[in-house]
């Protein structure tokens, strides 16, 4: 970049122009054939195209942003939008737990990785990526799901879960940074993120209480079975000893009878002689 400076000569008393060369380092090499547009072109275009209403007169309807009622009426006239609204309503009534996410930017490969991760962990959750605000308003207006409509203003996604395992859902969300949980519908109740954390703690406590209750209920049964096993072992031992004693007594009686029969036969033979 060349800069011109003014210098004054003491002898001639006139101003001389001297050329000073200064090198400026650019981060990117400039494209001289196709230069970038000026940064203020977009702002200047918006400033020129902005409507200016006449003074002391109301703004016409064409300059106003369409309201939600008009958008819903447009959706009602579209049969495909009505079909999507009915499908969304059926999905909400069919699944016991529905997660509401705010979506950050992510790639298709990352979404495929998330689907494979959910499949590998046996967590049945179907993610609906894009949710149309107008379709959501048409589906839930006047129903018990009407508080969900303000949550669908920005990029929103729904996660339809077939189970109510909240702890598993929070575990999966740690591996899904692009999906930010902003609400959860659990057993027909809309929960905030803080409520979801409390629900996870409560579910863990309930699991511990269930295990303690099961052990408490199984303790007398275990004692009873142990006593029955001990009684059965003692009974079998006593029966085996009794049978052995009976067998020994029967064998001794048989031997005595044999000896007596032999003696009788000897006496009879002597008498005959």
Distance CA 94, CA 158 (A): 14
- 3-class SS at 242? helix
Tens-place pLDDT, residues 52-77? 777 765 544 444 445 444 444 545 56
> Which residues, 6+ apart, have CB-to-CB distance to 19 below 8 Å?
2, 4
Query: With the CA atoms of 39, 44, 49 and 51 taken in that order, what torsion angle do they form, in degrees rounded to the nearest 10?
Result: 130
Three-state secondary structure string covering 178-224? CEEEEEEEECCCEECHHHHHHHHHHHHHHHHHHHHHHHHHHHHHHHH
Tens of pLDDT, residues 197-215: 887 777 766 777 777 778 8
CB 169 within 8 A of CB 125: yes
State residue 123's pLDDT score: 83
Superfamily name and number for 69-193? Ribosomal protein L10, N-terminal RNA-binding domain (3.30.70.1730)
User: Which positions ≥6 away from 156 have C-beta within 8 Å?
Assistant: 100, 101, 102, 103, 131
| Closest by CA position to 97, among listed 148, 159, 141 | 159
CA gap 127, 72 in Å, rounded: 24
Mean pLDDT for the chain overall = 75
**How high is the pLDDT of residue 172?**
87
Task: Answer yes or no: is pLDDT of 131 > 70.
Answer: yes
Nearest to 191 by CA among 147, 150, 230: 147
What would the mean pLDDT of 44-59 be, rounded to a whole number? 73
List the chain domain ranges: 69-193
Provide the 10 A C-beta neighbour count for residue 171: 13
């Amino acid at each position: 970049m060349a800069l011109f400076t003014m210098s004054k000569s003491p002898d001639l008393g006139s101003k001389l122009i001297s050329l000073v060369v200064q090198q400026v380092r650019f981060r990117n090499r400039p494209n001289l054939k196709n230069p970038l547009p000026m940064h203020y072109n977009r702002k200047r275009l918006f400033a020129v195209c902005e409507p200016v209403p006449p003074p002391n007169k109301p703004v016409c309807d064409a300059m106003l942003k369409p309201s939600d009622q008009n958008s819903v009426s447009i959706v009602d006239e579209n049969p495909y939008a009505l079909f999507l609204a009915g499908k969304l309503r059926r999905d909400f009534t069919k699944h016991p737990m529905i997660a509401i996410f705010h979506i950050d930017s992510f790639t298709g490969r990352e979404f495929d990785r998330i689907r494979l991760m959910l499949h590998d962990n046996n967590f049945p959750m179907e993610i609906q990526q894009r949710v149309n605000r107008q379709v959501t308003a048409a589906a839930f207006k006047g129903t018990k799901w009407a508080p969900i409509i303000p949550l669908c203003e920005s990029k929103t996604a729904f996660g339809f879960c077939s189970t109510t395992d909240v702890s598993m859902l929070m575990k999966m969300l740690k591996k899904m940074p692009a999906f930010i949980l902003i609400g959860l519908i659990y057993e027909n109740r809309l929960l905030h993120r803080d409520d979801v954390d409390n629900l996870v703690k409560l579910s863990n406590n309930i699991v511990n209480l269930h295990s303690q209750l099961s052990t408490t209920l199984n303790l007398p049964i275990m004692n009873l079975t142990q006593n029955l096993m001990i009684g059965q072992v003692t009974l079998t031992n006593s029966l085996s000893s009794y049978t052995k004693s009976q067998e020994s007594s029967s064998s001794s009686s048989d031997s005595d009878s044999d000896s007596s029969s032999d003696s009788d036969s000897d006496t009879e033979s002597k008498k005959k002689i």
